[in-house]
Structure 1
Amino acid sequence: MEFLSSRVIIHPRDRDRSLAFYRDTLGLAVFREFPGGTVFFLGNGHLELSGQGGHEASPDLALWLQVRNLADAAAELRRHGVVFAQEPRLQPWGLREAWLADPDGVRIVLVEVPPDHPMRLDSREP
């Protein structure tokens, strides 16, 4: 099986509120708009807001968003009024992380991969 593209789809309870959060607060660029939906660039993928949700977000779901500099990203989000569920800090597994949520409670983790982390190392044999 071959997959050509992917995106995460969120059905927000209040589309305008979620649109403002992802577009204005997080600063995601719009990839495409269509009647009833907006698709944002999200690093190597896309995030779609469409339809109408009727339930709180599952605590079993989280968006993992890598940033270049976590301190700078957190400071910018604070200027937009974001309150963090977990302030930026170095985790035991070596990543710098901060946790927040969108207006519907979708958990979002911002991640900075330090230069010496194994995710940045070339694992191929020399």
Structure 2
Amino acid sequence: MEVLSSRILLKPRDPERSKKFYADQLGLAIYREFPGGTVFFLGGGFLEIVGQGSGEPSSDVVLWLQVRDLPDTVAELVERGVPITREPRQEPWGLHEAWIADPDGTRIVLVEVPEEHPLRVDTR
């Protein structure tokens, strides 16, 4: 299988509220808009807010967003009124993580990869 592009699709209960959260509070840039949906840049992929969902979000769905500087990112989000659901900490696997949630409760993990972590070290 050859993958040319990818995106995550979320069907929020209130699409306009979610669009404002991702655009205004998280500050994600919009890639494109179309009737019934908005696609945001999400690092190497995309996040599409489309349609309207009717159920509760699953705890099985988590967005993992790598950021350059976790303390600065958390401070910026707090200034924008985003509640931090779990304060930054170093995980046993070596990543620095903080948690937030979108308006529907979808967990968003903010991750900083330390310089010495295997994800950043060339092991060749």
Given the two structures, how large is their TM-score scaled by the length of structure 1? Answer: 0.96
Long gaps (5+) in structure 2: none
Read off the aligned partner of 2:108 and give its amino acid letter.
Answer: I
For the pair 1:8 / 2:8, whether they are aligned, the reply is yes
How far is 1:39 from its partner?
Answer: 0.2
Equivalent-residue separation in structure 2 for 1:28 and 1:51 (angstroms) = 19
Q: State the partner residue of 1:20.
A: 20
Q: State the partner residue of 1:115.
A: 115
SS at the partner of 2:52? coil
Long gaps (5+) in structure 1: none
Q: State the partner residue of 1:83.
A: 83
How far is 1:40 from its partner?
Answer: 0.4
Q: Which aligned segments of 4 or more residues in structure 1 are displaced greater than 4 angstroms?
A: none
Instruction: Please say which of residues 27-36 and 83-92 is displaced more in the overlay.
Output: 83-92
Deviations 1:79-100 (A, max 9, x none): 1111111101111111000011
- Please tell me the root mean square deviation across aligned C-alpha atoms, in Å: 0.6
Q: Across the two proteins, how many residue pairs are aligned to each other?
A: 124
Equivalent-residue separation in structure 2 for 1:123 and 1:115 (angstroms) = 13
Q: State the partner residue of 2:95.
A: 95
Q: Identity rate of aligned residues, in percent?
A: 65
Given the two structures, how large is their TM-score scaled by the length of structure 2? Answer: 0.98
